[in-house]
């Protein structure tokens, strides 16, 4: 077994993490991960991130129930970005869409809305 890769959390102590559907390859979201969030993800098998706006650790789906079961964690060549390969329960985006990348730069909605955020986050 190889030694763990030393992730470079940089000056702010965070690295970006892309969540990708483990089966389809669809990119679901991008969020930030602290050392503690990475540790919790590895311990629980569920995606944890660090909210820069709320300045706190959070488990994806703790409020909505739309959890991400992490199948594998990959690290890029510079060890400063993570890729979470996940099984997504429900939608990944707080807007109710399956993916946060549900619209084009021209504003065209190209994604699927899978839940009503007003109902989930009331």
Annotated binding site for Zn(2+): 77, 93, 100
Which residue's entry shows tokens 């400063």? 80
Annotated binding site: 76-78, 80, 93, 100
- Listed in sequence order, the DSSP H helices in the chain are 35-44, 117-120
Instruction: Give the C-alpha separation, 117 to 101, whole Å.
Output: 16
Instruction: Please check whether residue 67 is in contact with residue 59, taking contact to mean a CB–CB distance below 8 angstroms.
Output: yes
HSE, side-chain direction, 13 A CA sphere, residue 46: 11
Here the tokens at position 76 are: 């890029």
Annotated binding site for Mg(2+): 76, 78, 80
Within 10 A of 54 (CB to CB), how many other CB atoms are there?
Answer: 8
């Amino acid at each position: 077994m190889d030694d763990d890769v030393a992730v470079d959390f940089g000056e702010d102590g965070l690295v970006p993490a892309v969540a990708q559907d483990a089966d389809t390859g669809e990119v679901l979201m991008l969020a930030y991960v602290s050392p503690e969030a990475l540790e919790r993800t590895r311990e629980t098998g569920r995606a944890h991130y660090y909210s820069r706006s709320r300045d706190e650790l959070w488990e994806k789906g703790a409020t909505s129930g739309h959890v991400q079961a992490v199948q594998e964690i990959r690290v890029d060549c510079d060890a400063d970005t993570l890729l979470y390969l996940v099984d997504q329960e429900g939608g990944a985006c707080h807007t109710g869409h399956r993916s946060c990348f549900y619209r084009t730069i021209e504003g065209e909605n190209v994604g699927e809305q899978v839940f009503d955020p007003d109902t989930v986050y009331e």
